[in-house]
Amino acid sequence: MTDTTPWRPASGPPAGAGPTRVPGTPDFAAGPAGGPDPGRPPGEPAGPAARDRVRRQGPPGRTGDPEAAAEPRSVRVAARGAAEPAVGPAAGPSGPAAGPAGPARYAGGAARGVRTATRRAAAAAPPRTPSSPGGNAPAPLGRFLAKAAAVTAGLTAAGAVFGLVRDQTIAHLFGAGPDSDAFLIAWTLPEMASTLLIEDAMALLMVPAFSHALARRAAGRAGLTRKEARAQDPVRMLVAATLPRLAVLLAAVASVLIVAAPLVVAVLAPGLPDPGLAVQCTRLTALTVLSFGIAGYFSAALRAHRSFVPPAAIYVSYNVGIIGTMLALHALWGVRAAAAGVAVGGLLMVLVQLPAFIRNVGFGPARAKRAPRSRRDRDRPTLIAFGLIAPVIFFAVFRQSQVLVERFLAASLPSGAISHLNYAQKVAQMPMVLSLMICTVTFPVVAQAMAAGEREKARRRVEQDLALASLAVLMGTALVIGYAPQIIQVLFERGAFTHEDTLATASVMRVYGFGLLGHCLVGALSRPFFSTARPTWFPALAMGAGLLVNIVAGAFAVGWWGTYGIAAANAAGISTTAVLLLTGLGSRMVAIQVRRVAVSIGRLAVAAVAAGGTGWIAGPMIPDPTVSAALGCLLVPAMFGATGMAIRALEVTALPGQIAQFSSQLTQRFRNVR
- Cα dist. 364→217, 370, 376, 399, 562 in Å? 14, 12, 10, 36, 54
- Cα dist. 217→95, 99, 231, 418 in Å? 34, 28, 11, 51
8-state DSSP, 33:
G
> Mean of the pLDDT values across residues 76-98?
38
* pTM (two decimals): 0.67
Give the SS3 label for residue 19: strand
Q: Report yes or no: 250 and 293 within 8 Å, Cβ to Cβ.
A: yes
Query: What confidence score (pLDDT) does residue 139 get?
Result: 43
The most confident of the ranges 105-109, 287-291, 367-371, 494-498 is: 287-291
Give the SS3 label for residue 87: strand
Residues 479, 483, 487, 493, Cα dihedral to 10° = 160
Query: What confidence score (pLDDT) does residue 671 get?
Result: 55
Task: Please say if the pLDDT value at position 388 is more than 50.
Answer: yes
Task: Please say if the pLDDT value at position 264 is more than 80.
Answer: yes
Q: How confident is the model at residue 128 (pLDDT cuts 50, 70, 90)?
A: very low
pLDDT tens-digit readout, 641-669: 899 888 877 666 666 665 566 566 556 65
pLDDT tens-digit readout, 547-569: 999 999 999 999 899 999 999 99
**Distance between CA atoms of residues 364 and 584, nearest Å:** 46
Q: Report yes or no: 218 and 82 within 8 Å, Cβ to Cβ.
A: yes
pLDDT tens-digit readout, 281-290: 999 999 999 9
Query: What confidence score (pLDDT) does residue 456 get?
Result: 79
Look at 285 and 151; give whichever has higher pLDDT. 285
Q: What's phi and psi for 584, nearest 5 deg?
A: -75, -30
* H or E element that contains 94: none
Query: What confidence score (pLDDT) does residue 633 get?
Result: 93
Query: If you average pLDDT over every residue of the chain, what do you get?
Result: 74
Q: How confident is the model at residue 393 (pLDDT cuts 50, 70, 90)?
A: confident
- Return the amino acid letter for 525: L
The most confident of the ranges 158-167, 197-206, 242-251, 433-442 is: 242-251
Task: Please say if the pLDDT value at position 47 is more than 60.
Answer: no
Query: What confidence score (pLDDT) does residue 378 get?
Result: 52
Q: How confident is the model at residue 207 (pLDDT cuts 50, 70, 90)?
A: confident
Task: Please say if the pLDDT value at position 373 is more than 50.
Answer: yes
- Cα dist. 162→295, 319, 320, 365, 490 in Å? 19, 6, 7, 38, 17
